[in-house]
Amino acid sequence: MDVQKNRILFLLDRFEQGIATPSEMEELDAWYDSFEDETAPELTDAQKQMSKQRLFNQLDQLTSEQPKKRHLHLVRYASVAAAIVLLIAGITLFKPSSKPEIKENQLALTPDVAPGGDKAILTLADGRQIVLEDKPNGQVAAEGNMTIIKMNSGMLTYQGSNKNRSIVNQLNTISTPIGGQFQVVLSDGTKVWLNAASSITFPSQFTGNIREVSTTGETYFEVATLKNGKEKVSFRVNTGGQKIEVLGTQFNVNAYGDQKLYQTTLVEGSIRISQNKEAKLLKPGQQANISLEKDIINVSEADVEKAIAWKNGLFKFDNTDIISLMKQLERWYPIEVVYEGRITNERFFGKIDRNYTLSEVLKVLQLGQVHFKIDDKINANGKRKLIVMP
């Protein structure tokens, strides 16, 4: 056992550092796959619990001599930790590229609910609205000195000159619906990614010594450095009562209106967060949490990978409760989630590809002792009702 234990710990460390070779990854996958023979998908609840305990015991044996690293591995390899039930059916969140098989009697939807995609509406300064997914690539409009070009199905770019400072700001808005995402390159070169049910309002052409935009929902920024003479032109993001000031950096803002907490995660550079009279400076890898009820800014170390997982095409769960998890699904799929009976206190870990259909996602989640019932009827808002049951 010592040889196997040391080898697995070595592979886990290699993966954690991002230096595992393809052959080492295959070896690690094979270790996970070795559990499949004794964990068939047709097990009863009692058998699942027994299998779950056996897997925990196996992991305990392999990591007992390195307790300091154990928790990190449990979180990183979520399918072997609190979401270990996923391994009972031979399915792991660790491998989002391999979709789970859906049997006819396992949440097969007819028709299934497709995942979201590249969808957004551009609202020009004169009020005209352009449905971007309906437009072919090429010029879609012009504002001032700027030509607005759709580069591909998921990107818009503003091209032209910011040198004419006499032009009055013309505000544009890009908004994504539920199940939509989009990317825009602003006139200064700043790149912005919009998650589902989000928006950004910005001038088609930046003027003066301050670049200022407003957002709702969730957005990711790569702010371009811009100078006016020798002075750097600052960039500000307004989200409700929250203000973010930067010069050139990358960060994620999660500020949905139906949440009690705004989160801003800094990837690189530095930003200053202010809420009323309070202000905090963030360092890379830190997250500012603003409670809208208490009006307080708390700064903590961030799980950057989790914060920007949506931008990379993933759901990432790390000790996530069922309500927070389902809220993410509600924004990506046209569903209305309701709860029946006791709400589970199960916590979820791991990753799921956002390209999964709804039935594929639910198939994975129900292995975590959560059950679902879907109303085939589509309501007036174009949504299917998804009932979550214990």
DSSP letters, 210-279, are EEEEEEEEEEEEEPPP-EETTEEPEEEEEETTEEEEESS-EEEEEE-TT-SEEEEEEEES-EEEEETTEE
Helical axes 2-17 vs 22-33, angle rounded to 10°: 130
Three-class SS of residue 71? helix
- Residue 162, pLDDT > 90, answer no
- pLDDT value, residue 26: 72
- pLDDT value, residue 131: 97
Average pLDDT over residues 3-21: 65
In terms of Cα–Cα distance, which of 76, 108, 69 is closest to 94? 76
The helix (H) or strand (E) run that includes residue 32 is helix 22-33
Start-to-end C-alpha separation, the chain: 38
Task: Give the percent of the chain with pLDDT over 90.
Answer: 45
In terms of Cα–Cα distance, which of 95, 82, 104, 83 is closest to 31? 95
Q: How confident is the model at residue 310 (pLDDT cuts 50, 70, 90)?
A: very high
Which domains, ranges and CATH numbers included, belong to the chain?
Answer: 2-88 (no CATH), 117-307 (2.60.120.1440), 310-389 (3.55.50.30)
d(CA 302, CA 285): 6
Give the model confidence (pLDDT) of 259-309 as tens digits.
Answer: 888 999 999 999 999 988 889 999 999 999 998 777 789 999 999 999 999
Tokens for 1, please give them. 């056992």
Give the model confidence (pLDDT) of 59-112 as tens digits.
Answer: 454 444 443 332 222 223 333 333 333 333 333 343 344 455 544 444 555 568
Helical axes 67-76 vs 2-17, angle rounded to 10°: 60
Cβ neighbours of 19 (radius 10 Å): 9
pTM: 0.75
Please provide the average confidence, as pLDDT, over all residues in the chain: 78
Q: Which residue has the tokens 């550079």?
A: 269
Average pLDDT over residues 141-159: 91
Q: How confident is the model at residue 247 (pLDDT cuts 50, 70, 90)?
A: confident
